[in-house]
């Protein structure tokens, strides 16, 4: 058996959870079978059971509007993935950027199609800001691919229910397989070099955010909560890769306003390397995940593995990772039915985030309890080796049907 994984992201060009997922899943699957990864970029990896090839793109002749460049670029790479030739037993796609390639492979090469849903386009309407009319294409493409796939992997039970609500897919075709964590890599560190390099005082507690500047991650709501936070601790925002210039400008205004009202706000705009992120997790008093849409929330799992207490929104797959009152505090969030861009009451959500952070920051014993319990939960439930075995079993089942 040989699996071909198709992905937009792959190291060294990861920028989100999907790239992390494919990185570790491919490495673990390669211990069990032949694995090939095709991705966007110039990557080249040749190991006994793992071969990675990046496909570059020449868009210098594109005359389309800027928001459509990534859309048509993904379509071109989907063609390139297929015309290069495929000898795999099955195809496994990650994110809508690769779904066209998966459809073409299933139809032209006659092999089963597996899709992991890291997020769902109907639940991310703010993507129209980034893609323009390409969002209508991504909606159509995702629906077409998911409904013709031989199996759909949901990264949480919450995501499974979202799939059933929004798509015409038989429930027995959907398999819940969670994201995972490399517990030897994500572990509490003592070094403070990265903190000092970025102006963070390691002797003073801080609440931490790590993620992209996107509507989905709720970063602006956390920034708006800063004015309600007690002044005794630092606020560290490791936030880069804005989806659009508009949300970047909105973030800048919000941070400037917060910094006028409170000292100790540190915004690190670059996407940090993995060792630095692990160091930031390790020394944070609290990690905050204010997402307004989160199918799983691998960042919470990373922080838990580094023994950090969590404050997160109670939405999507987050409650399957963070147990309220055991490994962290969950903040209720109901989304507006007409406008999922923000919670029903953004001001109240920001205040609720601030209340949860302030209360937990004032209770060191509770933070220490959450930290230890979080590490135990990561060890017991979310190893990549177990997730790879579940994925292998799904592959084997599909091949018996084909």
Residue 311 to residue 213: CA distance in whole angstroms: 18
Instruction: Assess whether 274 and 287 both reside in one domain.
Output: yes
Q: Residue 362's CB: how many other CB atoms inside 10 A?
A: 12
- Answer yes or no: is pLDDT of 109 > 50: yes
What pLDDT sits at residue 337? 47
Confidence check: pLDDT of 300 > 50 = yes
Residues 9 and 140 in one domain: yes
Are residue 325 and residue 200 in the same domain, yes or no? Answer: yes
Rounded CA-CA distance 139/128 in Å is 10
Specify if 188 maps to a domain.
no
> Residue 71 falls within a domain, yes or no?
yes
Domain match, 85 and 125 both:
yes
pLDDT one-digit tens code per residue, 361-373: 999 999 999 999 9
Mean of all residue pLDDT scores within the chain:
94
Looking up tokens 């941070």, which residue turns up?
255
The total of structural domains in the chain comes to 2
Looking at the domain assignment, is residue 95 inside a domain?
yes
Residue 76 CB neighbour total at 10 angstroms: 16
Q: Is residue 25 classed exposed, middle or buried when 0-12, 13-18 and 19+ CB atoms within 10 A define those classes? A: buried
Residue 231: strand, helix, or coil: coil
CATH code of 343's domain: 3.40.50.2000
219 belongs to a structural domain: yes
- Summarize the confidence of residues 204-229 as an average pLDDT: 94
pLDDT digit string, tens, across residues 129-174: 889 999 999 999 999 999 999 999 999 999 999 999 999 999 999 9
Whether 375 and 348 map to the same domain: the answer is yes
Report yes or no on 277 lying in a domain: yes
25 and 136 share one domain: yes
Considering the domain architecture, whether residues 131 and 156 belong to the same structural domain is answered as yes
Measured between alpha carbons, how far is 297 from 318 in angstroms, rounded to an integer?
6
Give the gyration radius of the chain's Cα atoms: 21
Domain shared by 341 and 315, yes or no: yes
Whether residue 186 is contained in a domain is answered as no
Q: How far apart are CA 6 and CA 49, in angstroms?
A: 16
284/387 same-domain check: no
Q: Are residues 170 and 97 in the same domain?
A: yes
Residue written as tokens 């073409």? 104
Q: Among residues of the chain, what percentage have pLDDT more than 70?
A: 97
Rounded Cα distance, 222 and 203, in Å = 23
Look up residue 180 and give its two tokens. 């995972």
Cα–Cα distance measured from residue 119 to residue 124, given in angstroms and rounded to the nearest whole number: 8
User: Look-up: residue for tokens 């039970």?
Assistant: 157
Does the pLDDT value for residue 65 go beyond 90? yes
- Same domain for 103 and 15: yes
Task: Assess whether 95 and 167 both reside in one domain.
Answer: yes
Name 231's Cβ contacts closer than 8 Å, sequence gap at least 6: 262, 263, 264
DSSP 286: E
State the residue range of the domain holding 348: 193-381
**Taking the mean position of all CA atoms in its chain, how far away is CA 401?**
32
CA distance readout (Å), 227 to 221, 249, 269, 290, 312: 11, 19, 20, 16, 18
Q: What is the dihedral of CA 376, 159, 28, 102, to 10 degrees?
A: -170
Residue 58 lies in a domain: yes
For 176-210, what is each residue's pLDDT tens digit? 999 999 999 999 999 999 999 999 999 999 999 99
On whether residue 185 sits in a domain, the answer given is no
The owner of tokens 């070094």 is 191
Nearest to 392 by CA among 118, 175, 82: 175
Mean pLDDT to the nearest integer, 230-254: 92
């Amino acid at each position: 058996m040989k699996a071909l994984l198709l992905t937009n992201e792959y190291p060294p060009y990861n920028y989100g959870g999907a790239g992390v997922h494919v990185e570790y899943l491919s490495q673990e699957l390669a211990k069990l079978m032949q694995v090939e990864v095709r991705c966007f970029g110039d990557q080249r990896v040749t190991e006994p059971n793992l071969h990675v090839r990046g496909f570059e793109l020449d868009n210098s002749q594109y005359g389309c509007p800027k928001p459509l460049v990534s859309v048509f670029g993904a379509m071109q790479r989907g063609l390139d993935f297929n015309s290069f030739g495929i000898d795999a037993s099955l195809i496994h796609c990650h994110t809508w950027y690769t779904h066209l390639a998966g459809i073409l492979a299933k139809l032209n090469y006659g092999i089963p199609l597996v899709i992991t849903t890291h997020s769902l386009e109907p639940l991310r309407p703010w993507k129209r800001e980034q893609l323009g009319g390409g969002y209508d294409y991504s909606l159509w493409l995702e629906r077409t691919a998911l409904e013709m796939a031989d199996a759909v992997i949901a990264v949480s039970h919450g995501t499974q229910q979202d799939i059933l609500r929004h798509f015409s897919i038989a429930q027995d075709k959907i398999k819940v397989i969670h994201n995972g964590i490399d517990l030897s890599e994500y572990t509490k560190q003592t070094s403070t070099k990265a903190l000092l390099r970025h102006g963070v005082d390691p002797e003073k507690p801080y609440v931490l955010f790590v993620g992209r500047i996107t509507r989905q991650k709720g970063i602006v709501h956390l920034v708006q909560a800063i004015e309600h936070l007690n002044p005794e601790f630092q606020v560290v925002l490791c936030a880069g890769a804005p989806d659009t210039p508009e949300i970047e400008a909105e973030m800048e205004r919000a941070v400037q306003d917060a910094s006028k009202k409170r000292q100790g706000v540190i915004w690190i705009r670059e996407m940090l390397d993995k060792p630095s992120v692990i160091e930031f997790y390790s020394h944070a008093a609290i990690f905050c995940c204010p997402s307004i849409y989160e199918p799983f929330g691998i960042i919470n799992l990373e922080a838990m593995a580094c023994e950090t207490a969590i404050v997160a929104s109670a939405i999507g797959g987050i409650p399957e990772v963070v147990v309220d009152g055991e490994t962290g505090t969950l903040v209720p969030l109901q989304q507006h039915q007409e406008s999922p861009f923000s919670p029903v009451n953004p001001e109240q959500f920001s205040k609720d985030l601030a209340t949860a952070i302030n209360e937990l920051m004032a209770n060191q014993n509770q933070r220490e309890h959450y930290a230890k319990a979080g590490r135990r939960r990561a060890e017991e439930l979310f190893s990549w080796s177990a997730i790879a075995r579940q994925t292998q079993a799904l592959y084997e089942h599909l091949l018996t049907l084909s």
